[in-house]
Amino acid sequence: MPVKKPEVPDPFHLFADEDMTEKHWRILEAAIRVFSEKGFSAARTREIAEEAGVSEGTVFNYFKTKKDLLTGLLLPLVARYFRPLLARSVENILNRRGHQPFDQVLFDIMKDRVQLIEKNWPLIKTVAAEAAFHPELLDPVRTRVTPYMIALVREWFQGEKSRGTIRDVDDTAALRVFMSMIVGYVLARKAFPEGLPLESGTVPWEADDVEIRRMLDIYLHGIARTIEPREGGGAHAPEN
């Protein structure tokens, strides 16, 4: 049975490809490359124009200031590049799950999200770095994209709870932990590409599939040998 679409506006209808010219896209894509390499403060509009193969005046025809260019990056690029991936791929995974085990569906979603972040890392890195100084950059994600995605997965979680597949845990907490695993894993691999540095030496990364399976095993089963739910959502080991 297909997952019911959430009662949250689709975040992607605002920017169709036909709303923007090919030259407009070239400027935005060039800005991502320049901002990613040099940062917002050090980047020059002239460099963006050269990267896009247009005059500096053409850039200013579309974006009056450099900040307009930065704030104009997020939603149209999310619409164009994430549109087939951000929500559609999760919808497809959930709708084709059939009789797949719960852990396999989680694996498919997590691997899809990891690949999405990797593929779009220059854009994500640029926006994340500049959001500390320009928090409005994250407004499209906070107000449109994230609520849609959370509602989509929460609908599935609630269905699995009603079928007895998972415990009656807090949906928001479960989703928060799941999303944190995805982001934390990618950031750790970016920060320590050779592996995690320990006193005994660097522990190299395994393939994504192996690492994701390990994380999901801990997510689904915990680390304690025996555990009992604590009232209010916590947990404690039973007394001997």
For residue range 78-114, what is the model confidence (pLDDT) as tens digits? 555 555 455 666 777 777 766 788 899 899 989 988 9
Q: In the chain, what are the domain boundaries?
A: 17-236
Of 216, 233, 234, the residue nearest 107 (C-alpha)? 216
pLDDT at position 190, please? 92
What are the phi and psi torsion angles at 54 (to 5°)? -130, 170
Distance of CA 48 to the CA centre of its chain: 26
Confidence at 14, pLDDT banded by 50, 70, 90: very low
Count Cβ neighbours within 10 Å for each residue of 1-20 and write b for 16 or more, e otherwise. Answer: eebeebeeeebbeebeeeeb
Q: What value does the mean pLDDT of the chain take?
A: 78
Flag whether pLDDT at 21 surpasses 70.
yes
More confident residue, 174 or 64: 174
Query: What pLDDT score does 43 carry?
Result: 85
Q: Per this entry, what is the length of the chain?
A: 240
Name the residue among 4, 227, 10 with its Cα closest to residue 140: 10
Give residue 155's pLDDT: 84
Beta bridge partners of 201: 198
Q: What is the pLDDT of residues 130-155, one digit of tens each?
A: 778 777 777 766 776 677 778 878 88
- Angle of helix 171-191 relative to helix 208-221, nearest 10 degrees, comes to 150
Q: Do the beta carbons of residue 61 and residue 27 sit within 8 Å?
A: no
Q: What share of the chain is helix, strand, coil (3-state, %, to 5)?
A: 60, 5, 35
Indicate the CATH number for domain 17-236: 1.10.357.10
**What pTM value is reported for the model?**
0.69
CA distance 231 to 1: 33
Contact in structure between 124 and 115 (CB atoms under 8 Å): no
Digit-coded pLDDT (tens) for 29-77: 888 888 878 877 788 889 999 999 999 998 888 888 877 777 776 556 6
